[in-house]
């Protein structure tokens, strides 16, 4: 008797169900073990008006930095278009299981719909995604190094930083192999084509015989882009990452977690390592996993339980909700921005 095979629909349903279970367990079972929700609400209720204004200000600043990396990677893209693009793709990435792939697909579709060149769009999609991951890996390595200079010697943090360093090295080596020369790019394209052809044969797809040309064109477009704009892309991406962290830092200080309890470097280490660990999208936007992991890390550094959980929930609300709401609104009108 043949075993029933799982269809793509079944896999999506199972993935969504699994994500829901993880979120429920995180918020209903794990987070309350760190701090009681009533106590957390009491902490949030003590926020003063100046701190509320500061929180709104950093949340707006964070949203405002979404677009510039794309403007740097795709010359001719306006700020308004970049915001429509990033808010829509972020909303999808945050709201749907496996949303990162959907977000990338939507970004590509929008840019092609706005008549940007195919090769330029491909290079921009790859470079922004790659630079985002490079910085995502580089920040925790830097943070753990700064902790070591302060005298902290946490073995777990050192292990995670070594893993991050290995990932960073692998990504850089892969990038160099593809971009080193056009001939090298063609070879990588040929090997990738043979691999995809063998994998797709049972599905009666393929063959993929022209990837060498695609890789060569991509390599030339990417090299030209990075040669002239790598530093602009790097600064724009770094600003985007650090404004997200700024929301967490202001949230911590707003609820009374001062530098003697959790220093700036400790907060940076906790934040960046949790972001690295949640790079694989088990739940949409890391929902539930980030809240539990980041709260536990901050408490581990010496922060008060109730205040740390309150700060993390504020941080997540201010960085999760605005892009989702803006993305839902802007995504409906994206075609109107073709000539922005």
Per-residue pLDDT, 74: 93
Give pLDDT tens digits for 92-126.
Answer: 877 766 566 677 888 888 898 898 988 888 888 88
Give pLDDT tens digits for 16-30.
Answer: 777 788 889 999 999
Whose tokens are 């994500």? That residue is 19
**Chain centroid to CA 186:** 30
* % pLDDT > 90, the chain: 40
Angle at 74 between CA 68 and CA 78, to 5 degrees: 55
Per-residue pLDDT, 277: 77
Per-residue pLDDT, 250: 98
Give pLDDT tens digits for 140-152.
Answer: 888 888 887 776 6
Is pLDDT above 50 for 1?
Answer: no
Say how far apart CA 112 and CA 67 lie, in whole Å. 17
Residue 325: count other Cβ atoms within 10 Å of its Cβ.
12
Cβ atoms of residues 209 and 111 within 8 Å:
no
pTM, rounded to two decimals: 0.83
**Secondary element (H or E) of residue 184:** helix 182-200
Q: State residue 35 phi and psi, 5-degree precision.
A: -155, 145
Give pLDDT tens digits for 306-323.
Answer: 999 999 999 999 999 998
Higher pLDDT, 259 or 339: 259
Report for 236-250, 275-289, 321-335: range of highest mean pLDDT = 236-250
Give pLDDT tens digits for 153-178.
Answer: 566 666 666 666 676 666 666 666 66
């Amino acid at each position: 008797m043949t075993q029933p095979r799982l269809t793509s629909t079944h896999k999506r349903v199972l993935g969504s169900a699994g994500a829901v279970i993880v979120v429920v367990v995180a918020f209903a079972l794990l987070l309350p073990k760190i701090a009681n929700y009533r106590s957390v609400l009491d902490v949030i209720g003590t926020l003063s008006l100046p701190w509320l204004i500061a929180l709104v200000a950093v949340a707006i600043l964070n949203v405002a930095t979404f677009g510039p990396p794309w403007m740097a990677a795709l010359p001719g893209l306006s700020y308004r278009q970049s915001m429509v693009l990033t808010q829509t793709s972020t909303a999808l990435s945050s709201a749907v299981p496996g949303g990162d792939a959907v977000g990338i697909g939507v970004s590509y579709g929008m840019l092609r719909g706005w008549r940007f060149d195919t090769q330029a769009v491909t290079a921009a999609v790859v470079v922004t995604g790659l630079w985002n991951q490079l910085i995502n890996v580089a920040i925790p390595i830097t943070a753990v190094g700064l902790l070591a200079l302060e005298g902290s010697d946490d073995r777990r943090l050192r292990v995670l930083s070594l893993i991050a360093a290995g990932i960073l090295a692998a990504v850089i080596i892969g990038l160099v192999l593809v971009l080193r020369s056009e001939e090298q790019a063609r070879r990588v394209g040929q090997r990738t084509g043979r691999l995809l052809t063998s994998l797709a044969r049972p599905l009666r797809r393929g063959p993929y015989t022209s990837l060498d040309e695609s890789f060569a064109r991509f390599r030339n477009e990417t090299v030209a882009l990075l040669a002239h704009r790598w530093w602009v892309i790097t600064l724009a991406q770094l600003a985007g990452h650090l404004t997200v962290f700024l929301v967490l830092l202001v949230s911590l200080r707003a609820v009374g977690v001062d530098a003697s309890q959790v220093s700036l470097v400790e907060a940076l280490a906790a934040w960046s390592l949790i972001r690295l660990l949640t790079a694989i999208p088990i739940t949409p936007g890391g929902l539930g996993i980030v809240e539990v992991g980041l709260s536990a890390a901050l408490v581990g550094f010496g922060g008060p339980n109730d205040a740390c959980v309150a700060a993390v929930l504020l941080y997540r609300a201010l960085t999760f909700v605005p892009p989702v709401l803006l993305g839902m609104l802007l995504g409906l009108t994206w075609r109107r921005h073709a000539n922005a």
